[in-house]
Structure 1
Amino acid sequence: MDETSHETTDEIAHVAQHLARNLVALRHARALTQEGLAKASGVPRSTLANLESGEGNPSLTVLMKVAGALGAPLDELLASPRAKVRKWSVEDISAQNRGSGLTIRPLVPEPVRDSILDTMAFAPGAYLRGTPHLPGTREYFTCLEGRVAVFVAGERHGLTAGDVLAFPGHVPHSYRNEDAHHKALGVSVVILARAGV
């Protein structure tokens, strides 16, 4: 075997190892079993097991199906550990001004499948009416700073720093910073229900 062939073989082995590690990590992050991923992607479980062991030699079609089922770009499946590191500056993350005195920014600047993750910065007295989601959606609001009242189906729930409130996301809900003099900060996590599930 000449030197070029040897280097090519090594590169293929490295990519297979990156794929194996990334596939396991992404599958676990999505709380999927191999069987669940097989069903979602249409790829046999035995093929996935081979890929996760670093032994597989998948076609582009198989990789595309797996990446699609994981909601991840193809390059994330194949990337070396260093290539997956990325930093966003505050200017890179778009903020939305919503309601009266409320600023919402993504907590995670990349899409997270079936979830909405936001920070919510409330000016003194700020108010926001939430958007109802599909039945089966679950919402979590964590108060990080200040005092926030969350109204769910007409019932008031007062939160202070460290408190977490979970509630069904399909019912009417709203948020209010009840302090007229101080800001408040919270994190909203919405686990979306899938249509037809």
Structure 2
Amino acid sequence: MSTPPADRPDARTASHLARNLVSLRHTRALTQDALAKAAAVPRSTIANLESGDGNPSLAVLVKVAGALGVPIDELLASPRAMVRQWPADEVATRTKGRGVNIRALVPEPVPEELMEVMDFEPGAVMGGTPHLPGTREFFTCLDGRVNLMVAGERYELDTGDVLAFPGNLPHSYQNGDALKPARGVSVVVLAKAGV
């Protein structure tokens, strides 16, 4: 079977898929083998898709997109179509603990990471979520003062301070000021189950 001319729609789609797949895989620091294992497909399938020679079934696209944590259309889209803007009111926000509002820092799924902006009302308190052993958490205080309790020890963070700690240890957050709000960013690098 001959390769379709580059100006045909199916050839453009294969080219977009190849470029997007390589880019997404590199962004997530995955080898072809690791992506193939996560998607439950042969490594040769990933290699064929990245070369632009693949003709994947919908089932294969679903598996690969799922392993990368992206919608199928992001695998097939032209580079310009991959640009997306979210108005602030479309980024999900939730309340946790007493007086803590949390919103995603990145509104798309990022495999093995959780990134959130945390807004603390004056005096706010929140218990942390325990994670698997091997998880690493980083908290950056952006504004105000936030106190973290990690395994029974208290850490006081002022604006600009960063605290890193094992995410499986018991931990909690408190706005250290009863009169002013505080803000921070939490980045959780999740451990892989069974590793």
Q: Give the TM-score normalised by the residue count of structure 1.
A: 0.87
- The partner residue of 2:73 within 65, 72, 75 is 75
- In the TM superposition, 1:153-164 aligns within 5 A as 153-164=151-162
Q: Which residue of 2 aligns with 1:187?
A: 185
Cα shift at 1:6: 7.0
Q: Which residue of 1 aligns with 2:106?
A: 108
Q: Which residue of 2 aligns with 1:151?
A: 149
Q: How much is the aligned-residue C-alpha RMSD, in angstroms?
A: 2.0
* Structure 1 letter corresponding to 2:13: V
Check the 8 A contact 2:144/2:158 in 1, yes or no.
yes
Deviations 1:100-134 (Å, cap 9, x if unpaired)? 22111111222222322110011222211112122
Q: Which residue of 1 aligns with 2:20?
A: 22
What are the ranges of 5 or more consecutive residues in structure 2 without an aligned counterpart?
none
Cα shift at 1:50: 2.7
Identity of aligned residues (%): 64
What secondary structure sits across from 1:182 in the alignment?
coil
* CA spacing shift, 1:82–1:125, aligned 2, 3 Å: same
* CA spacing shift, 1:178–1:81, aligned 2, 3 Å: same
Check the 8 A contact 2:142/2:160 in 1, yes or no.
yes
* Structure 1 letter corresponding to 2:51: S
What secondary structure sits across from 2:8 in the alignment?
helix
* CA spacing shift, 1:131–1:65, aligned 2, 3 Å: closer
Q: Which residue of 2 aligns with 1:133?
A: 131
* Structure 2 letter corresponding to 1:171: L
* Structure 2 letter corresponding to 1:189: V
Cα shift at 1:184: 1.2
User: In structure 2, what is the Cα distance between the partners aligned to 1:62 and 1:151?
Assistant: 45
User: In structure 1, what is the Cα distance between the partners aligned to 2:184 and 2:137?
Assistant: 13
Q: Give the TM-score normalised by the residue count of structure 2.
A: 0.88
User: In structure 2, what is the Cα distance between the partners aligned to 1:130 and 1:181?
Assistant: 23
* CA spacing shift, 1:68–1:99, aligned 2, 3 Å: closer
Q: Which residue of 2 aligns with 1:166?
A: 164
With 154-163 and 91-100 compared, the bigger mean Cα shift is at: 91-100
User: In structure 2, what is the Cα distance between the partners aligned to 1:150 and 1:170?
Assistant: 14
Check the 8 A contact 2:5/2:11 in 1, yes or no.
no
User: In structure 1, what is the Cα distance between the partners aligned to 2:136 and 2:113?
Assistant: 10
What secondary structure sits across from 2:180 in the alignment?
coil
What secondary structure sits across from 1:116 in the alignment?
strand
